[in-house]
Structures are given as structure tokens and as C-alpha cells.
Amino acid sequence: MRKPDVQGFYDPRTGSIQYVVSDPGTGACAIIDPVLDFDEKSGATATHNADRLLAFVAERGLNVVWILDTHPHADHFSAASYLKEKTGAATAIGEHVKDVQALWKDIYNWPELRTDGSQWDRLFVDGDRFTIGGLEGRVMFSPGHTLASITYVIGDAAFIHDTLFMPDSGTARADFPGGSAAALWRSIQAILALPDETRLFTGHDYQPGGREALWEATVAEQRSSNSHMVRSKTEQDFVALREARDRTLPMPKLILHALQVNTNGGRLPEPESNGRRYLKFPLNALPGAAWT
């Protein structure tokens, strides 16, 4: 099995990790879960994170062949559309993004939104395979956090985003529209069934206790010490733990901003007659969310 080179890029503003995954034999690479910068206070957008990825790719002489999202993110904008403009690489996400689009089309009252996934070049189904130079990637459907979440297994590395966090941080929430703690449990069990030495790369780290940001642990490490999984011997245990925790969590501050962009392939709204772009989000659409 060829081992990919993996470089993580941490965004402290959103706690997100973006990845460049490359084949050392050919220089082909994929960018996974890139962040488009957004300041909700001023409404400003920027491409600092995406440009950092492009600078790394150029410095290493890599060739971007895929821009991959694991799911439509609720806490940051995706830079997939921007990076496609810059590199020409194909964009991809899981096929169940269509279900997320249908869900949020109704929440946003957005009749113009295409709900066929055509905003991406490829929609992956469970078990699909793809290549990054001489590396083979495989797709695992990993719902629970969202209806559309997938895991990318590339060589001895798996990109698991909002399923497991680092062992000291437990697991991802499952209370967004379309989420399911029971489905998340089953997705995690499939991830933990990968070989013990598989490197698992998370999508977020919130630096508990003020420690440095971390994003890599093996299957064996997660199985033996993940703070939620070691307390959950059964699916019922996990669902009770996860749902109790989720009831205390406020919604991500950007969820209503981000889903309007990310269900549309990372595209910002089209400019209006004055040349400016506008986000639209509903009031009181997420009842029962905790306040802070």
C-alpha cells in the first residue's frame, strides 16, 4: 500500500483542519475540506486559507487533481469553487448532498437552488474508488453528523471530519437538521474497523485545556482512548451520551451563513443590481437550539 504524504493546515478562527494529500511518487495531490475565510461581523470574505494551500502546492511542485469536501460544512465556507477556478481540478462530495440540498432549500425558501448535486464535478457513492496519481482512494458513507458525510480512505490515511475528534475531545455532534446519533455510532464503528495502524485525520480541533492543535491519531489510539467511545459500550449508551451533550450545545455561529454557500458548491450568492452579494437566512428555523 502506497503511503500518502499528508499536510494539515489549521485555521484557528474556525478550529478547522484543511489537508493537502499527495502521492510522493507522482506529485499528484488532493485538497480536502478547504476553508474560504469569512468574518461574520463585517461580512468580509477573503482567500487567505485557500491561498496558503496553493502556496504550499506550488512550493512542493504538486499537481492538484481533486478538491474534496467531506460534507456541506456548518461552521465555515468551502473554498472548493475558488480553488477550482485557480487549479482546474475536479470537485467532489458525497451523493447524499442532494438530500441536504433538498432539506435546506426548504429551510431557506430558495426555489432557485438546484438539488441534483450538479454544483460538483462528481458525487461519490459508498464504495467508490478514485485515484491521486498512484494512490487509490476509497469512499465510505459516514452519516450521522449530516445526511451527506463521507470518509475518504487514501492509502493508510482516512479523512474522517465530523465523526471522531481527537481522543480527548470525543465525537462530533449529531443534532443538525438530518443528523442522527445512532447513524453516527454506526459510522464510527465502520471507521474503527479499519486496520489499527490507519491514520485518522479529523476535521476540527478546539484545543481543550489550551493545548496545541492536533488532528492525527491511529485507529488503535481512538479505539482505546476516545473519551466518548470508551464510555459507550453499546449504541444505546452512545446515543444517550451524544444526545445529552448535544442538548447543551448552541448552534455554530455560521450555520445559517455557511449552508447557503456550501449547499451550492462553495459558491457565494450572485451579485445583485448594485454589484454586492447578499446572504439570506431564516429566523426561528432551528427551534430548540441552546442559547449562550
Q: What is the pLDDT of residues 11-41, one digit of tens each?
A: 999 999 999 999 999 999 999 999 999 999 9
Res 196 pLDDT > 90: yes
Q: What is the pLDDT of residues 69-113, one digit of tens each?
A: 999 999 999 999 999 999 999 999 999 999 999 999 999 999 999
| Cβ(149)–Cβ(161) below 8 Å | yes
Q: What is the pLDDT of residues 242-279, one digit of tens each?
A: 999 999 999 999 999 999 999 999 999 999 999 999 99
CA nearest neighbour of 20 among 55, 72, 71: 55
| Cβ(27)–Cβ(59) below 8 Å | no
Helix (H) or strand (E) holding 63: strand 63-68
Mean pLDDT taken over the chain: 96
Res 292 pLDDT > 90: no
Name the pLDDT band for 153 (thresholds 50, 70, 90): very high
Residue 6, C-alpha cell as written in the block: 499528508
Residue 93, C-alpha cell as written in the block: 462530495
**Amino acid symbol at 21:** V
Residue 39, C-alpha cell as written in the block: 468574518
Domains, the chain, ranges and CATH?
5-259 (3.60.15.10)
As a whole number, mean pLDDT of residues 45-50 equals 98
* Percent over 70 (pLDDT), the chain: 100
Q: Is the dihedral of CA 71, 163, 35, 221 positive or negative?
A: negative
| Cβ(181)–Cβ(243) below 8 Å | yes
Angle at 2 between CA 92 and CA 79, to 5 degrees: 25
CA distance 5 to 250: 36
Name the pLDDT band for 2 (thresholds 50, 70, 90): confident
Which pLDDT belongs to residue 1? 63
Strand partners, 20: 7, 31
**Amino acid symbol at 52:** R
Which pLDDT belongs to residue 272? 96
pTM here?
0.96
Which pLDDT belongs to residue 289? 86
As a whole number, mean pLDDT of residues 188-205 equals 98
Strand partners, 137: 130, 154
Res 288 pLDDT > 90: no
Res 285 pLDDT > 80: yes
